[in-house]
Amino acid sequence: MTILITGGGGFIGSHLVDHLLEETGERILVLDNFSTGSPANIRHIDDDRLAVRDGDVRDDQTVENVVSGVDSIYHLAAAVGVEHVVENPLASLRTNLHGTENVLEAAREHDVPTFLASSSEVYGKSEAVPFSEADDRVLGPTSVPRWGYAAAKATDEFLALSYHETYDLPVTVGRYFNIVGPRQTGKYGMVIPTFVEQALSGEPLTVYGDGTQTRSFTHVADAVELTHELLETPEAHGEVFNVGAPDPTSITDLAERVIELTGSDSEITHVPFEEAFGENFEEPDQREPDVSKLQSVLGWAPEADLDRILEDVIEEQSELHPKVI
């Protein structure tokens, strides 16, 4: 048996590769163009069962070739990070729309069970926390590129559910809520690696806006375990699930906790959103998953353990930059 992981060179994808190699006896095939992912994320793996194909999900022939020999698919290849998406709106839309359609079409042709990675961004700026899978979504105008990402991910979900409905394709959608942990880079704007790096090097922590916005951070180890279980559970096919830890933290509290845990002398500085992202930007104020559906189908959901997440990230970054502490 062979499992395909698109985006297996990325942050979440590489943890999923580790998890599946450890938990299953299957071969793993990674398809990644290493645009935002990195070969370094999987370089530590010394296992004959892993094969890596450098290729792009936007290329239908490449996708058809890799899917033809596999038994299940985790489709994680996607444009990543708000900063990256805002700076590269067209490429992000193409990857998220065309790439996903290619994967689903090849999955249909070869009848391969598929997990689709979606995002809590699909809830947009809804304030009806906690967000439940069947809730209304609230997106802003098309002039704001961030909502293009949310709309593309939602369209991916429509596609997946339609492939299930029309062709009976076993496909499950997971909406990831701020997945964090070791190997995540701050390069695309993600807050935890950014704050930890700033704290370890004594620079000010850049809190965007007033810092009252909340996020529900979820350890990548929980995310990949849930991802695996969701694809393996027939009851989950044709369904959408929140994948997140239901315990929101404000960004100011997060910054303070990072300073505390690193023992840093760094200060907190507030950066207006316009300065960080330009004028055409909107920010979800609150984000929190309702995990009752996940609980009822899988029997468990992540518990927020922000300190463990932070400790893991701090430990990794301290090893990478031993001189800064």
Catalytic residue IDs: 149
Would you call 132 helix, strand, or coil by DSSP?
coil
Would you call 42 helix, strand, or coil by DSSP?
coil
Pick from 36, 208, 216, 293 the residue near ligand UDP by CB under 6 A: 208
Distance, CA of 188 to CA of 204 (rounded, Å): 18
Query: Is the dihedral angle over the CA atoms 246, 250, 253, 255 positive or is it negative?
Result: positive
Query: Cβ closer to ligand UDP: 231 or 313?
Result: 313
HSE (side-chain half, CA atoms, 13 Å) at 294: 28
Pick from 72, 100, 178, 286 the residue near ligand UDP by CB under 6 A: 178
Binding of ligand UDP by 242 (CB under 6 A): no
Query: Cβ closer to ligand UDP: 39 or 278?
Result: 278
As measured in angstroms, the least distance from the Cβ of 219 to ligand UDP is: 14
Number of residues that bind ligand UDP (CB under 6 A): 13
Q: Mask: binding to ligand UDP, 82-121, rule CB under 6 A, as x and -? A: x---------------------------------------
CA-to-CA dists, residue 243 to 52, 73, 228, 293, angstroms: 27, 18, 12, 10
C-alpha closest to that of 79 among 188, 183, 225: 188
Binding of ligand UDP by 302 (CB under 6 A): no
Binding of ligand UDP by 79 (CB under 6 A): no
Binding of ligand UDP by 151 (CB under 6 A): no
Distance, CA of 309 to CA of 180 (rounded, Å): 7
Query: Cβ closer to ligand UDP: 146 or 164?
Result: 146
Pick from 207, 259, 291, 313 the residue near ligand UDP by CB under 6 A: 207
Q: Which residues neighbour 113 within 8 Å (Cβ) at sequence distance 6 or greater?
A: 71, 72, 73, 107, 169, 170, 171, 231, 237
Applying CB under 6 A, the residues found at the interface with ligand UDP are: 82, 178, 189-191, 194, 206-208, 213, 215, 251, 283
